[in-house]
Structure 1
Amino acid sequence: MALETRKKRRRRLSMTSLIDVIFLLLLFFMLTSTFSKFGEVEFATATEGGSETDVPLRFVKLEQDRILVDGTEVTLDAITTLFDGNTAQLALISLDQNATSQQLIDLLTTLRPVASLRVQVIG
């Protein structure tokens, strides 16, 4: 009596379901990953009324190639030395039409350590 041995045929795996699983994993990791960190720069907006009349004002004009503080040209690194950290001050920043948003962010980041300084950006 001879035993009949049958060769088992292997079924081909469907590539469609494998591609679906890979796509879902890729989508999951893209949505849950953080690619870059964003920083925040806080500044005060214009307030109603003129309640801050006793606070000294400093006028900062931001142009494309220079920064003027009360009409005097200064560098970005030396701008914090012009502001006294002990007395409350208000800096009004006027933007030139050629000034970039990156220059404004750099200026605000430089002025952030001055504790008693409030900043308002005007057009």
Structure 2
Amino acid sequence: MTSLIDVIFLLLLFFMLSSTFSKFSEIELTAGGSAPGGAAETPPLFLRLGQDDLSLNGQTTSLGALQTALGQSGPASVADDRPRTVLVSLGQDVTAQRLTDLLGALRGTEGISPLILGGSSE
């Protein structure tokens, strides 16, 4: 009986240590397409994402100050209530976690629609 309790304890310990307790979340990605009703009145914002840097329309910013910088770059959405497009250009060394952090920061901003352009060939 004692050996059975030891085996059960070892199995319990093994499964507790091998399981992951981190929370997974979803980041919604939408495919780019043509805007209905013609071109937008407000030009899109350009966001360049590198592994260690981030720039919005050529101005260096941090991930924490991104929402403030987006608010200062003009109206969040165009006149007919469509979200304002943010073109996101990825550097060569950008990891999936860095992109997920950026999309999480953009998710908290109203009136923004990110469009991922892909990696650059620097």
Q: TM-score range by the shorter chain?
A: 0.5 to 0.7
Structure 1 residue 89: Cα displacement: 1.1
TM score, norm. by length of structure 2: 0.65
Structure 1 residue 36: Cα displacement: 3.7
4+ residue segments displaced more than 4 Å: none
In structure 2, relative to structure 1, the CA distance for the partners of 1:58 and 1:65 (3 Å cut) is same
8 Å contact kept, 1:91–1:119:
yes
2:87 maps to 1:92: yes
Letter in 2 for 1:39: S
Letter in 2 for 1:81: T
Letter in 1 for 2:106: L
Question: Which has the higher Rg, Structure 1 or Structure 2?
Answer: 1
Across the two proteins, how many residue pairs are aligned to each other? 104
8 Å contact kept, 2:44–2:87:
yes
8 Å contact kept, 2:44–2:86:
yes
Letter in 1 for 2:112: L
Distance in structure 1 (CA, Å) of the matches to 2:24 and 2:43: 32
Letter in 2 for 1:51: A
Which residue of the partner structure matches residue 3 of structure 1? none
Which residue of the partner structure matches residue 13 of structure 1? none
Structure 2 counterparts to residues 33-72 of structure 1, below 5 A: 35-47=21-33, 50-51=34-35, 53-54=39-40, 55-72=42-59
1:2-31 C-alpha deviation (Å, 9 max, x unpaired):
xxxxxxxxxxxxxxxx8xxx7xx98xx89x
TM score, norm. by length of structure 1: 0.65
Report sequence identity in percent: 38
2:113 maps to 1:114: no
Distance in structure 2 (CA, Å) of the matches to 1:89 and 1:120: 10
Which runs of 5 or more structure 2 residues have no equivalent in the other structure? 78-82
8 Å contact kept, 1:43–1:118:
no
Distance in structure 2 (CA, Å) of the matches to 1:65 and 1:35: 28
